[in-house]
Amino acid sequence: MKKTFRFLLYSFAFASVLACSDKDNSDPEPGAGTGKYVMMTSVDDFGAGYLTVYNGLPTGTVQNTNSKSLQIANAFGFRTFGKWIFNRSNAAGDEGLQKFSANADGGLKDEGFIAGATQFLIVNETTGFYLDETRGTLKLQKFNPTTMLRTGEIDLASLKKAGVAYQAIGKHTLAAKEGKLYAGISYGTTAAQGYGDDLYDYVEFAVIDMATDKLEKTIKYDGLKGIGWGSSGNKMWSTGDDGALYLYSTGLTSGFKNPSVIRIKKGETDFDRTWKFSTDAIKPGNSIVTGLVKGGKFYFELASEPLKVDFSTLTSPIFDYYVYDFATAQSTKISGMPLHEYAYGNEQAILEIDGKVYLRVSNTSQKTRGYYVVEGTTATKVFDVSFDGTIQGFAKLAD
């Protein structure tokens, strides 16, 4: 049975009809430098799309498809690990964890599929975790990313809270740092099943030692509702070059009030309660779903006007990119690029490639879809993609 992913409090119905595109019969286009890059595009904001491999970094104007592109039923962001690509459904649209690799000729190879997997984490070539609610909402499944075979599970039934109708571990967030697995705990309702139904005014994580698969403790952070939103390729957390784990409280469940970033510092296993970044002081009524910490700076996305609580303005080109300086606690808008639409499930809307920061722009009204590179607080265009649709992700693959 084909499934689509829930995103915004059931307010959006995702398109699952395979639509026509401007796909051509050309060979993969060469780009600048070496290496392979992969891009996911969709015909509409949600629904069907393509995965396309490029030889070298695209420059100028490129097509979103070529003769080797793979058509997929659900294009809602992807993740990479080394030379592998991971999607939240297979090409036919069945829910699960799909692994691809890039062939030498620019095509994509099916490397395995785990049916039923939802949120997931790749730790290394042989260790990964995922949630499969059919096996239990209080269990985390283990798998080998090389073979794509399930290898066991971690039973966390001891964390069951009495009186809670729906409880799941790892639904929205699975992250790892320094040998520990951090799994977000959702407390919600049977009807919404963890999407926008947070019962408590705090976030809670299970901390698991990955060497022994044993639960060490749980940690709480008061005053926030929800970390992440586990319906897409966007994991909504990142590891900074300072070694800290940064976690995004999106604002999607609070009427866009107090969207925040909190962290667990390098060498620590509990939240750093001396530091929190919120966009409320800059522009109220916002959301944080993407970011990057590099060189003492935090790069993030910010709406130029308050977001409407019915989510209707998330599809409007009203978003800018900003950079926050940890040393001065000042935020500066990055210039040189047009306004763009919300990142949604895009794991790579803000990404680092070969030491440089790249930013995605998707602006349907201006027919601008591409990536810019940042120098200081100014960005310059690297490439445009010529098609009518949305860029759902872009990344460089390891050799």
**Amino acid 259: pLDDT:** 96
Pair of tokens at residue 1 = 């049975």
Distance CA 119, CA 182 (A): 13
**Amino acid 34: pLDDT:** 78
Sign of CA dihedral 123, 358, 75, 385: negative
Q: Which of 292, 303, 370 lies closest to 333, judged by CA?
A: 303
Domain coordinates in residue numbering, the chain: 32-397
Residue 218 in contact with residue 185, Cβ under 8 Å?
yes
**Amino acid 252: pLDDT:** 93
Query: Which CATH number describes the domain made up of 32-397?
Result: 2.130.10.10
Q: Which of 78, 179, 87, 183 lies closest to 124, judged by CA?
A: 179
Q: Which of 269, 230, 267, 264 lies closest to 247, judged by CA?
A: 264
Residue 87 in contact with residue 355, Cβ under 8 Å?
no
**Amino acid 26: pLDDT:** 57
Amino acid (1-letter code) at residue 160: K
Pair of tokens at residue 390 = 């949305």
3-state SS of 272-290? CCCCCEECCCCCCCCCCCC
Average pLDDT of adjacent 10-residue blocks, the chain of 399 residues: 42 34 51 86 90 97 96 97 98 98 95 98 98 98 98 98 98 98 98 96 98 98 95 97 98 94 98 97 96 98 96 95 98 97 96 98 92 98 95 96
**Amino acid 296: pLDDT:** 98
Residue 235 in contact with residue 173, Cβ under 8 Å?
yes
DSSP secondary-structure letter at 25?
A: -
